[in-house]
Structure 1
Amino acid sequence: MKKRNALAGRTAAVSLVLAAGVAAYAQTSKERKMPASAAQIAKTSPPFNSLTPEGYKQVSTRDVTVDGERATLTRFERQDGRNAGLGGEHYSRVVNEAGLLKGFANMDLAYESDNLPSRERTREIAMGFLKEFAPDLLPRMEISWIEPHDEPVRVTRDGRPQVITVTGMKVKMRNTGDGRWFWVIVGANERVMVFERDIVWINMPGHRQTEKWLHDTWLAARDSKNPAH
């Protein structure tokens, strides 16, 4: 599979946004009471610490809100320090106040590959993941599509910074009960590299409402505009 040319056109812009946001990266907090149903789901879900990749260490936490709900964003980076910092290799997760895993992203060079699993294999892996870590989503699940998905990662190679692409197969799904979206992205090594749930989409004018705490480019842009927060 060839890399999509659209990402190359975004490379310069991504680099500028990340550079502006690193200096402003800060901790924030807001409040909202969590629904009891979320607490019940969290109690019956298996521990998600097993999802943290080997060779990573925790480097930061910050209080955040996800559609008005209190949550915690925890960031891990490689123990060897390779490509550290905002925009580089990292594993980040968001957990709400009730202990429910709202999502995680593993941006690692291990996912820089075109040798992706088939759509059928991707679906199989995604369903297995949801059964273990988000079983409440399965009864009212509707698959929208399964397609390749790219994410930019800032790296240093031969002493020079550059933005590369990590790629996975994305299973985009809709919760027919509440209309919210969720997805699982499976990498070339058949491991889940991204999971996000309960994403609110506003059809008019057509944009995502739910904050993008797992996306470094969004974090950089947000924090560069709001350095005090």
Structure 2
Amino acid sequence: MIRRQSPAIAAALGLPLLLCACSGGSGADVVDRPSTAPASASLNVQNCIDQPVRPGGPSVGNLVVPDTIKVDLTQPAGFPNGRRLTDSVIDTELAWIFLDLTRHDANTLAQRQLGPQANDVAFRSDFPYLAAPHGGAPAAGAGSNFNFRTDPASAYVQVDRMGMPAIATALISSSAKNAYNDDSPAIDGTVKYVNEITSTLAVLANALQDDFQRLGLSICARPVG
């Protein structure tokens, strides 16, 4: 599995958002959200969705919906234009959805080295380059590994969608995760999960705004009204 560098935000930044790392193998993604929304929401996160990830580039919304990895061969390689094994994907996405990108670079959180700075197991020097997954194969009857080289496409069973892991982990609530993973990017295109994403982002932005301010970081959310 591709390394998903997870910033230890609660420990390193003092923010009540925990993302569990998954590196070199299987692992669970957990988000500890504020137990309740603020008494009165004071921030609107539409600007966070609409802001471009770089000057003249696509908006955050266009990158995270649908949940896919996009590749433009005319642009330099590296997340979000494709994904290298060493890219700080989680840190980058969290910067997109929380920070004012007119004031902060999308690499701001990655440069603070919030999470693991290397995979827990060295990458291989030959294809498929990834280290062996942690754990063993599923128990009999509980599923099977899919061999992309020999198995027919009809045998593939989708179990997760992690093109944009911070979105799936932090902004899709537990009650919607199974449906989200079962759906496809084509369903994303119907904006089925846009309200889910924006409402959860609003709760987190309101809860974390003072923490970002304390760290000298400007958030992308704007006061209501």
TM-score range, shorter chain: under 0.3
TM-score by length of 2: 0.24
More helix by share: 2
Name the structure, 1 or 2, with higher relative contact order (CA <8 Å, separation 6+): 2
TM-score by length of 1: 0.24
